[in-house]
Amino acid sequence: MAALAARPWLREALWGLLIVPLLAAPLFAGAPRALLVAGSALAFWRAFAISRRSLRARQHDAVLPLSLHSGWMLLASLAVVLVPHSTRLPAWLTLLVVLFIGWRIAVMRRRLQPPPRALLVAMVSAASGGVFLQYGTLFGREPGVALLAIMIALKLLELKSRRDAIVLVFLAYFLVITNFLYSQTLPTALLMLLAVWLVTSTMIGFHQRQPAFRQTASLAGQLLVQAIPLMVVLFLFFPRLPGPLWGLPRDGGQNVTGLSDSMSPGSFGQLSASADVAFRVEFSGPVPRTAELYWRGPVFWTFDGRLWTVGSSASPGPTVAPLVRPISEPVAYTVTLEPHFERWLLALDMPTAVPPEARAGVDFVLLANAPVRTRVRYEGRAALDYRVNENETEANLRRALQLPAGLNPRSVALAAELRASGLEPEQIVDRVLSRFRDEPFFYTTNPPPLASEHTVDQFLFETRRGFCEHYASAFTVLMRAAGLPARVVTGYQGGVVNPVGNYLVVRQAEAHAWSEVWLAGRGWVRIDPTAAVSPLRVESGIAASISIDDPLPMLVRGSLPMLSRAGFAVDAVANAWNQWVLSYNTQRQQQFLRNLGLDSTDWKSLSVLLLAGAAAATLLGALLALRGLLPGRRDPAVLAWERLCRKLARAGLERSPSEGPHAFASRVAAARPDLAPAVLAIADAYVQIRYRPADPGRPAAALADELRRRIRRLKT
């Protein structure tokens, strides 16, 4: 009972172990309703008792001022939570927050007075109006966070008592959560863990007469460590919700790089400057050669002279289901795709399996049922050697021959010459590739702009410098003009194996475009004209094929080995965080429960598991606390005195268990006159710390530090 009285949280936890199962009774079939009534009555009674205690504490707290140490700790905690939002808030609002915090610092240093009540109300109204004018509403993620930030800064200006400080602490906890609405990366999680630790340490300091950071920080760390079992239970068994965090979609995919639903000259050159990760891949067997790593994305059928687009997805006439005939053994892999706010899923060419909640288009593009707004993980299978749609429909073949009339006459004439020469389709393909290979064409991420309306003519006969989209576009136009059905395929080519995690990393800089030509008896055949100009691009990756003068991210180029190794290690840690934490979705939770032998994974079974796990974690903590097994913070003065006793015992002066500090010091002084002044002074200091009233001018922590220094200097 003494343990319960000393630890109010333990008493409330035990009450919770009694009340929660009663409230959860309706989850079990046949459970009497009396249990629910009893649980509700007990919960109401405990809430009433806690509210009465809170009211008494509030009445006492209204006149209890905040110490200077607690004020500085509160400002530091709020700063850690607010700093990540400073880059997201409007500049004027960030400036106001900094101004109000500076005003609070001036009040703490007695340089300024707090604003009067009327001025504070006016500032609240003006700030709310400013947020409304900025966003057009007060609801939603952006205006909500902005309003919360400015209100916290204004609340600092009316901070008078511990009650106001506790309100700010709980607002800081809520502001921690809002950071995860923007980013769920590991650095964000670590920063917010630091913020929670500081905020908790600050709250502990509010309830101490002479708070010291070392003691409050240590106790806050112990509380967070003790909360880990309950946190793990909640993470594993709390029902997962589909969609983005808190059901809030991200804002329209702004500032997200990646493949587009169209392609024009220069579009892929922009992606080459991005080192952002597009997706990561784990293979069940050996990683294929770089030249075989073509990752299929959007396929473009329609060309208007400059822009390639998907065009109409519906073709007139009969359709056939996409058919892949594997010639080689399929390769199994798992993709972790970063959000790109489009529907396509990247798949190794050529996909032979469709992930759940996705479908394959007529051109073998894997399309999710909804835009990819969060990181997704899916399994895939692909044949590296294949035959595709050998019996293509006439409608699709006609669609793959369309060209805008009157454009690129020189290219059309060249293709007509090849067609009139009586060459077979395969020979026409080889003749165009030989032209790219033998004539002075150059592969570069920084080609000259194509200003003419005849973009393909200008590229083939004038500039002859281009990136992958230039070669894929020109080759496809030549094939169509020569009477061969062709289309442009975009995606990624290659990737770098991370030796730390043994998985493939594909970055935005490795975006690529190639062509597919339909040949009788073979179906759609992949032709990469870029490989004719720069074989290294396909065989060794983009870093090996780009000139040192062309812009390419340092992480992709790999010119600094130490930076590359550090990048691999950082990416492996980020990937582990993504796989085990952020990718723990509904499917993975159900798989985890099935591995535990639980076939039923509806909300009732999850609720029972959640309650049982939380009760077990709480009961374990309660038992350890009752038996005194949980680590506690011992008085530093007692630890210092015990060190002195051990030190004197080694010198033959052992203290009796019943001997008080002054009696022991007197006996030591009589036996060792040379130690008398130091030992007597140490005993006096120890008694003062332990048994005399606290001196506001000399905090107990400072006295304990001085005691430790005296004992350390003592030579026995």
Write out the two tokens for 160: 């008078």
What one-letter code names the amino acid at 127? A
Q: How far is CA 354 from the centre of its chain?
A: 27
- Strands of the sheet containing 262-263, edge to edge, are 262-263, 308-309, 302-303
pLDDT of residue 574: 83
| Closest C-alpha to 61, from 156, 164, 154 | 164
Q: How far apart are CA 577 and CA 566, in angstroms?
A: 17
- Report DSSP letters for 462-477, one per residue: II-EE-HHHHHHHHHH
Q: How far apart are CA 433 and CA 662, in angstroms?
A: 99
Write out the two tokens for 713: 């200097």
Residue 50 has pLDDT above 70, yes or no: no
DSSP assigned state of 139 = -
% residues pLDDT > 90 (the chain):
26
- Report DSSP letters for 170-202, one per residue: HHHHHHHHHHTTT--SHHHHHHHHHHHHHHHHH
Q: How far apart are CA 610 and CA 594, in angstroms?
A: 16
Which segments of 439-522 does DSSP mark as H helices, in order? 455-458, 468-481
Contact 352, 314 (CB under 8 A): no
Residue 563 has pLDDT above 80, yes or no: no
pLDDT of residue 5: 47
Contact 521, 529 (CB under 8 A): no
Write out the two tokens for 671: 């036996």
Residue 292 backbone dihedrals phi, psi, to 5 degrees: -100, -5
Contact 262, 307 (CB under 8 A): yes
- In the numeric block, the tokens 């709390």 are attached to 238
Contact 265, 477 (CB under 8 A): no
pLDDT of residue 167: 87
Residue 110 has pLDDT above 60, yes or no: yes
Catalytically annotated residues: 468, 512, 528
The string of pLDDT tens digits covering residues 323-373 is: 888 998 999 999 999 888 899 999 999 999 999 889 888 889 999 988 988
Three-state secondary-structure class, residue 238: coil
pLDDT of residue 249: 41
| Closest C-alpha to 596, from 86, 236, 160 | 236
% residues pLDDT > 70 (the chain):
79
Q: How far apart are CA 433 and CA 137, in angstroms?
A: 58
| Closest C-alpha to 80, from 182, 216, 175 | 175
Lowest mean per-residue pLDDT among 230-244, 280-294, 453-467, 652-666:
230-244
pLDDT of residue 709: 85
Residue 280 has pLDDT above 90, yes or no: yes
Query: Highest mean pLDDT: which of 134-138, 248-252, 314-318?
Result: 134-138
pLDDT of residue 317: 47
pLDDT of residue 335: 93
Position with higher pLDDT, 459 vs 628:
459
Contact 188, 679 (CB under 8 A): no
pLDDT of residue 625: 58
Average pLDDT over residues 29-46: 62
How would residue 194 be classed by pLDDT, with cut points 50, 70 and 90? very high
Sequence-ordered list of residues with C-beta below 8 angstroms from that of 452, at least 6 positions apart, any chain: 458
Average pLDDT over residues 649-658: 86
pLDDT of residue 476: 96
Burial class (CB in 10 A: 0-12, 13-18, 19+), 55: exposed
The string of pLDDT tens digits covering residues 662-701 is: 899 999 889 998 888 888 888 888 888 877 766 655 666 6
| Closest C-alpha to 337, from 261, 296, 278 | 278
pLDDT of residue 109: 86
Query: Highest mean pLDDT: which of 21-35, 70-84, 572-586, 699-713?
Result: 70-84
Residue 500 has pLDDT above 60, yes or no: yes
Q: Please name every residue paired with 324 in a beta bridge, in sequence order, or none if there are none.
A: 388
Torsion of Cα atoms, 146 then 147 then 148 then 154, to 10°: 110
Q: How far is CA 567 from the centre of its chain?
A: 17
Residue 174 has pLDDT above 80, yes or no: yes
| Closest C-alpha to 306, from 411, 441, 456 | 456
Mean pLDDT of the chain: 81
Burial class (CB in 10 A: 0-12, 13-18, 19+), 348: buried
Residue 480 has pLDDT above 50, yes or no: yes
Instruction: Answer positive or negative: Cα dihedral of 172, 174, 175, 180.
Output: positive
pLDDT of residue 555: 55
Residue 429 has pLDDT above 90, yes or no: yes
How would residue 560 be classed by pLDDT, with cut points 50, 70 and 90? very low
Residue 472 has pLDDT above 90, yes or no: yes
Please report how the helices 33-61 and 8-23 are oriented relative to each other, as an axis angle in degrees rounded to 10: 150
Residue 457 has pLDDT above 90, yes or no: yes
pLDDT of residue 246: 43
Residues in the chain: 716
- In the numeric block, the tokens 């489009």 are attached to 342
- Report DSSP letters for 519-535, one per residue: ETTTEEEEE-HHHHH-H
pLDDT of residue 546: 60
Average pLDDT over residues 109-120: 86
End-to-end CA distance of the chain: 44
The string of pLDDT tens digits covering residues 252-265 is: 334 445 788 888 88
| Closest C-alpha to 383, from 423, 438, 440, 323 | 323
Q: How far apart are CA 211 and CA 73, in angstroms?
A: 10
pLDDT of residue 558: 52
Q: How far apart are CA 397 and CA 412, in angstroms?
A: 19
pLDDT of residue 629: 46
Residue 55 has pLDDT above 60, yes or no: no
Sequence-ordered list of residues with C-beta below 8 angstroms from that of 253, at least 6 positions apart, any chain: 339, 340, 341, 342, 371, 373
Residue 552 has pLDDT above 70, yes or no: no
